[in-house]
Structure 1
Amino acid sequence: MRTFVSAAAALVGLLMAAVAVPAMWVDRNIVQEDGFVALTAPLGKDPAFQQRLATAAVDALASGANIPEALTQLARPVLDNAAQSLTALPGYSEAWAETLRKSHRLTFADPSTVPPDADVTSSLTLDVAPLVGLVARQVSEATTLPLEGPGQVLIHIGQSNQRQLIERVTVYAPMGYAVAVGACIAFVIAFVAARRRWAVLAGMGVGALVLAGVWKLASDAAGTAVAATSSGNDVAELFKSEFVAACSAGFGQWIVAAAVAGAALLATGIAVRVTGARKRGNFEHR
């Protein structure tokens, strides 16, 4: 009976861990604002993405700033220069971080709290208004034109039917912590109830290695599925590609940690088994 209880508890623990670990990663790195900013901040340093983003910001300012036609020739060179050197402007890092924070709030906020003029029907919405405002200040300083950036400049990523997925992730991802606690309890029960505790350690190690492989396959499949969607916008497509790569790399670190922990548990279980066998052998010889 103890063996059955131990095996069942270990299996339940592994199944719960299979759900809990990805859920916790998603909550920490995507649902939580600080984690999302930390994950996506390096995207602003990618040269190709920088250029597309700068062009989009300058185009948004040029089309919405109501620059008098007589001064267009004066402002155009400054706008073109800003498009080429946006990341070198003072305040770029802060503007990009604010862009990510505003985008996260639009994407993960309760729809009832979002301003009516903000269309958040896509799976992810970038608001690059802080970057447009940065360009506007640069142009104002260079030309003395009293330009102000728009309050919102939205770039939609994904499709409207994926919005429900975002809402579900927001609700269910934080539950991963409770599931993780349940998994730990199950593992403790498995270890306490076991007749051969080395077998529990080895079994959990093998299970962790299997989960690491499953998570890797699932991560690759999810990345492929996201990449297959189309946003119809060059900036959105580039951001999506870089975002998927960042997620894969970030979760990949957790997968490696799980694989290392699994290998350590397996090695410990085998070591305990060998040590126990040697002790019994020495006792019998006496």
Structure 2
Amino acid sequence: MRTFGSFVVGLLCLAAFAVALPLLWVGMNIADEDGYVALSRSALDDSDTRNEVVASVVDELESQASTRLTEMGVPQSMIDQTLTEIGRAAAEGLAREAVVDAWAQAQRQAHQQMFDGQDQGFVVELAPLVAAAAEAADVDVEVPSSLPVVADDSATRDAIALVDNTPGQATVALGAAVVLGLASVAIAKRRGNALLVLSIAGLIVVGMEYVLAHLAVGSFEVSDASGLGDRVASVVLDVAQSSYDRMLLDVGVGTLVVVVVGAAWAAAGMLRRRRGQDAAL
């Protein structure tokens, strides 16, 4: 009876563990603002994405400058010449590392917009980048506080809508997995064996999570990456997959340590029982 009870509780533990892993990652890297900024920073490592961001920022800055110069009555020929110089200086300025800090601030603002309850999809915020470009090009323009570029497809909106409650859900699922795991081992007749079997099953769960995550990412399309918001969303998705893989690797290593502990405990129990049998003889 104790063995059966331990088995049932162990299954519940594994189910909670399987649910907790993705929730924990999403809570730390998507729902959490600092985690999202750190994750999305890696998007600039992709040269095509970086170039597209720079091009979009320069276009926006040139548009702002053109409006300002037109209002001042500057001839169109001079405006065109000025915009060429502004574009060159801004692009050179954004090629420097200053863009990384501006990008971090932009993504912080984007995160706040995505999770403000407005259901507007994936957001790339350009305002801090345009301000950095204006400073680099020494252009005096009034940059709006927000210049969002939105990937507003239904799949992206649905995914973002699911993220809000993940930190609390992750805490509940992880706590349940720990409590149920301890209970499964505690009520087992042979606790070392129970810990060994449970930890090996945990490794299998980690492997299944890896496969399922890759299948899920492979089936998730972001509007064919046709615009800036779509491209950044696609790159962030790739970065997220790598980040989740690293977390699963860390969890797998930790679970493997528990397997070793369980094996040692089970072996010690086996030796004790064998010595007890020998003593009885």
Contact 2:222 2:234 in 1 (8 A): no
Q: How does 1:17-166 map to 2 (within 5 A)?
A: 17-65=17-65, 66=67, 67-68=69-70, 69=76, 70-88=78-96, 91-111=98-118, 121-122=120-121, 124-139=122-137, 141=138, 146-157=140-151, 159-166=153-160
1:92-118: CA deviation from partner (whole Å, max 9, x where unpaired): 33211110101101111122xxxxxxx
C-alpha distance in 1 between matches for 2:89 and 2:142: 18
Judging changes above 3 Å, is the alpha-carbon distance between structure 1 residues 253 and 6 closer, same or farther for their aligned structure 2 residues? same
Question: By how many angstroms is 1:232 displaced?
Answer: 5.6
Quote the residue 2:204 is aligned against.
Answer: 210
For 1:23, the aligned partner's letter is L
TM-score of the pair, normalised by structure 1: 0.86
Q: SS state of the match for residue 88, structure 1?
A: coil
1:186-228: CA deviation from partner (whole Å, max 9, x where unpaired): 11211111101122111221221111111101211222123x2
Does the alignment pair 1:184 with 2:183?
no
C-alpha distance in 2 between matches for 1:179 and 1:102: 30
For 1:230, the aligned partner's letter is S
Does the alignment pair 1:256 with 2:249?
yes
Question: By how many angstroms is 1:134 displaced?
Answer: 1.3
TM-score of the pair, normalised by structure 2: 0.87
Q: For this pair of structures, how many residues does the alignment match? A: 271
Contact 2:124 2:232 in 1 (8 A): no
Contact 1:54 1:84 in 2 (8 A): no
C-alpha distance in 2 between matches for 1:182 and 1:224: 30
RMSD value over aligned CA atoms? 2.2
Segments of 5+ residues of structure 1 without an aligned counterpart are 112-119
C-alpha distance in 2 between matches for 1:260 and 1:171: 28
Percent of aligned positions that are identical? 23
